Amino acid sequence: MSEQKEREEVLRGVRGSLTSLIVWIALYIIVSAIINSVLPEVLRPMIDFKGLVLDPYGIYINIVLALVFGYFIVRSFANFMYWSMRVRYPHPTAAAIRSIMMIVGIGALLAGIAGGVAGGASGVALGGFLGIVIGFASQQVLGQAIAGLFLLIARPFKIGDYVEIAGEQGTVEDISAMFTTVRKDDGSIALVPSGMIVGSKIYLLKKK
């Protein structure tokens, strides 16, 4: 792909992801307003006539709305960050940033919903606790992704280099957020976790 076509693709991606983000936010606001303001007034006479109460179900409806639209908003924002980073960085670096945004965004979404459901001081405490739990649960994955992002930005080695990293020696075939793929001299493939590479020495060797 030529540089001009790649640049046009990146610009289309930026515009498309930004449009998607705005559309999902607008849809969430509109649907939430309809369900919480307009729909209850229309349904209340019929529901009250049958002896049912509408109000207790409102919180569950809002949770579902927040989960569904929140996921698409987070995904659209992560895609927008991806295409924004593609202006200056290659695909692996931008993809690593997108992955980090998705992990952090979903964690913040779940913590925010939990805090909003509980309300008040207990909501803050519950949201904080859930945030800590999610943080611990995704600590290793997020740590690997951040280490991979550091490698992609710092670029201590590149695809095609003959290296020794984390005890593995061979030719670098791919660099991603989670793993670096090394083809060893015997033809086998080693997937080296990014965290191990950042915490160890890196040798750039000459092929024999």
Is the confidence at residue 49, as pLDDT, over 80? no
pLDDT number for residue 200:
82
Lowest mean pLDDT among 24-33, 52-61, 174-183: 52-61
pLDDT digits (tens, 9 = 90+) for 121-172: 555 555 555 555 555 555 566 667 777 777 877 788 888 899 998 888 999 9
pLDDT number for residue 171:
92
pLDDT number for residue 72:
93
- 167 or 57, which is more confident: 167
pLDDT digits (tens, 9 = 90+) for 84-124: 878 777 777 788 788 878 877 887 777 777 666 655 455 55
Which candidate, 196, 205, 146, 206, places its Cα nearest to that of 167? 196
CA 146 to chain CA centroid, Å, is: 12
Residues in the chain: 208
Q: How far apart are CA 80 and CA 43, in angstroms?
A: 39
Cα 132-137-165 angle, rounded to 5 deg: 125
> What does pLDDT average to over the chain?
76
Instruction: Give CB contacts under 8 A, 24+ apart, made by 102-110.
Output: 102/74, 102/75, 102/78, 103/138, 103/141, 103/142, 103/145, 104/142, 105/74, 105/77, 105/78, 106/71, 106/74, 107/131, 107/134, 107/135, 107/138, 109/66, 109/67, 109/70, 109/71, 109/74, 110/134
CATH topology of domain 157-205: SH3 type barrels. (2.30.30)
pLDDT number for residue 134:
55
pLDDT number for residue 42:
60
pLDDT number for residue 24:
92
Q: How confident is the model at residue 52 (pLDDT cuts 50, 70, 90)?
A: very low
The domain spans of the chain are 3-137, 157-205
Q: How confident is the model at residue 23 (pLDDT cuts 50, 70, 90)?
A: very high
Q: How far apart are CA 34 and CA 31, in angstroms?
A: 5
Lowest mean pLDDT among 58-62, 78-82, 179-183: 58-62
